[in-house]
Amino acid sequence: MLAYPNHLLLIEDNPFDADLFRRTMQFYHPEIAITHFSSYRAAYEHLQTLSPATTPYAGVVLDLHLRDGDGLDLLALIRARNLPLAVVILTGGGGDHMVISALKAGADDYVVKRDDYLDRIGAIVEQACQRFHSQQARRSQTIQVSFIALATTDSEATIQHLQRSAPHLHCTLIHGWRTFLHHLDHQRAVGDVILIDCAQPNLAMLDLVKELIQFRHLEQPVLVLAQPGNEEFPLQTLRLGAADYIIKSEGFRNHLAVAIENAYYRAQIHQQHYQLQLQAQALNAAANTIVITDRNGIIEWANPAFTTLTGYEVSEVIGHSTRILRSGKHDNEFYSALWNHILSGQPWRGRIINRRKDGSLYHEEMTITPVTDEHGEIRRFIAIKQDISDQVAQEQRRIILANIGTALRPAQLWVELTPILLDQVREVMQADSIALLRPQGATLAIDLAYNCLGHLASQPTILAALAERLAQSDGPTDVTDVVQSTTKIVVGVPLNAANRTIGALLITRATPLNSFEVDLLRDIAELAANALHRTDLFEQLRAANAELRAAYDETIEGWSRALDLRDRETEGHSRRVTELTVRIAARMGFSDEELLHVRRGALLHDIGKMGIPDAILLKPGPLDEQEWAIMRTHPTLAVELLRPIAFLAPALDIPWCHHEKWDGTGYPRGLRGEEIPLAARIFAVVDVYDALTSDRPYRAAWPRERALAYIREQAGHHFDPHVVDVFEQIITETDSNAIMK
């Protein structure tokens, strides 16, 4: 946009008035240049030399009453040649009709030479030039015009004139109103402006305007061209909603482009105004709070949601700093960093704690966006705020519950869990005293208590009353009156899980619970009830597993005794080798769980002999080769017997591999060295030692020293040398005969 006209053309035949104008304008703006023509003819010839691209002036100040010609003709010439000049008319009289004619012919403003016109003329010329050149800049935008010809003969000439004088106006000629309505019905584009040219205004024209505006609600502005002498019809079109009308008097085409542009931009402004109204309504109806401040944080505007958020009426805070919302929860460094960020031109997004009018605190999520002017300077800030107090409370509850859950997780037993639970709840709820109660028939009993609540263990009446009160509650309940406390608030909360009462929590504190703490304690009670229920289930499961394991082990030991009874040569053998094998395995680092499987494997080491015929198993003399081949299948038979039993699968190493040898000469698979499971290597040593030191029908028991010598001799051949070393240590430490009894 033109900042100020720096060169004007003055057409004035009165030298005195011309000199006054020059002096006034140079006083108004010292750097302005003025080119003066004092006659119609000289001005006309000069204007003829100008073109739209070579016009050096920002505007022309034109006296209408020249001695040798009419100023309106010069105005018509300027507009006909499409010269980019703002035209301000000077007139000393002639009536309003002269001024109106000049304005309709394309003048941008006028000044009447009377009274104090020199005081006003500088501003009038400046504003006229700015308006005109602003409009010229807008002419770079194409405007589509639907030109509806109703029985006219000069419509094409009018369009040709517009193409020459205003090439940015693209006109589409449409013959007859039916054709235009057909375009509308088939949703064809109808342009930005509707121009109706009617040879003789009639009811058909009025019906068309009414149809377009009132029935079809056309958004495009409608202009009407009418013949002179028929002004009544165009006026009626205005009443129906037409944007403007033009009487087709002499020279009407010179200002037709301006009329079309004005109608178009008025419609644009109206649409923008409507959009602004919609936006204002949306901002006022928005659930989020929106605040506009100046550069210094002074509140200029806020929507109604501001009152809902802060408790302040908007009228109370206009003109005040946003500091009135500060809570004191953030230090100066926080606010300094925030201001430095937004003053650098960057939006700020984050969470902040503010204070309401009633003094209560709330959490909000806020976005502050800087608003700059055309020079990039920050003028205002727009803040969009959302109350997230509930969300923050939920996040805090989740964190607290997660921490309590993490603390409780390692505890598997009730006695392990309850001290941790009470410590956690007492800290979180800032309780002076806390107790856990467990159901005992129809009443409650103290399971664990800290500080003063422990005295309730000797108050069965109070405990029965607590049970009755808490049975009627599903959340935290004030039971101060039940406990008969006069100095502290007492709150009880039932612990329910799996459709049964697990117990109850009691806490004492100096102040009542707020709403956040009530919700938190309810959540903690649910977490605690589930955790305690889990320990109950764990203990029940552990007891059931212990009973089941005992039954398994008793069954295994029964099998082992049955084998001993069947094979009289080995009576008591299974018990002895099992005890010694377990002892050696423990020395070699086996875990308790592994020792359990070693024990079972050792007891069942000869379970495969159940598949060996009695004729072979109980034969009093030596076995032949065929009988030995059958006897050597008992490890494989053991695997086939035990493998389908899932809980015995980890115990298969000894029954399957206790006849393998370190040098690979054993059976059934010929394993070598560490290919043999360690449990089987341990058992092999113990099994042979027990056999050597026990009486057999075909030989007497060996002495301890002879048996140990044999074991040492077989180290590296039959036995694992390391296992032999550990075996010998244990035998040396303990009287082997005592071990074997």
CATH 3.20.20.70 fits 286-387, yes or no: no
Residue 1: its pLDDT value, please?
39
Beta-strand relationship, 169-175 and 109-112: unpaired
Residue 476: its pLDDT value, please?
95
pLDDT digits (tens, 9 = 90+) for 356-401: 999 999 999 999 999 998 889 999 999 999 999 999 999 999 999 9
Residue 100: its pLDDT value, please?
81
Residue 736: its pLDDT value, please?
46
Domain boundaries, the chain: 7-138, 143-280, 286-387, 393-537, 567-740
Q: Which residues pair with 449 in a beta bridge?
A: 435
Segments in the chain below pLDDT 50:
1-2, 569, 736-737, 739-741
The sheet with strand 348-355 has its strands ordered as 299-302, 289-294, 378-387, 361-372, 348-355
Residue 739: its pLDDT value, please?
47
CA-based angle 100:105:111, to the nearest 5? 50
pLDDT digits (tens, 9 = 90+) for 124-133: 999 988 888 8
d(CA 291, CA 302): 4
Q: Is it true that 143-280 and 567-740 share their CATH fold?
A: no
Give domain 567-740's CATH superfamily. Answer: Hypothetical protein af1432 (1.10.3210.10)
d(CA 223, CA 261): 11
Which of left, alpha, beta for 373 (phi over 0: left; psi -120 to 50: alpha)? beta
Provide the 3-class DSSP secondary structure of residue 741.
coil
Predicted TM-score (pTM) of this structure: 0.54
Whether 257 and 343 have beta carbons less than 8 Å apart is answered as no
Residue 254: its pLDDT value, please?
82
DSSP-assigned states of every residue in 314-336: HHHHTTSBGGGGB-S-S-HHHHH
The Cα-based distances of 493 to 394, 399, 432, 437, 478 in angstroms read 20, 21, 16, 10, 9
d(CA 658, CA 676): 9
Beta-strand relationship, 7-11 and 59-63: parallel
Overall fold of domain 7-138: Rossmann fold (3.40.50)
Overall fold of domain 393-537: Beta-Lactamase (3.30.450)
CATH 2.40.110.10 fits 143-280, yes or no: no
Q: What are phi and psi of 365, to 5 degrees?
A: -105, 125
Provide the greatest CA pair distance for the chain: 162
Task: Give the torsion sign (CA, 193, 197, 198, 201).
Answer: positive
Place of tokens 């502005």: 221
- The 3-state DSSP composition of the chain as helix, strand, coil percent (nearest 5) reads 50, 20, 30
Whether 533 and 498 have beta carbons less than 8 Å apart is answered as yes
d(CA 62, CA 148): 36
The sheet with strand 7-11 has its strands ordered as 33-37, 7-11, 59-63, 86-91, 109-112
The Cα-based distances of 188 to 95, 144, 159, 182, 209 in angstroms read 47, 13, 21, 9, 19
Torsion of CA 645, 649, 653, 659, to 10 degrees: 20
Whether 239 and 254 have beta carbons less than 8 Å apart is answered as no
Place of tokens 């700059």: 372
Residue 568: its pLDDT value, please?
53
Helix (H) / strand (E) element for 385: namely strand 378-387
> Euclidean distance between the first and final Cα of the chain, in Å?
116
Whether 728 and 712 have beta carbons less than 8 Å apart is answered as yes
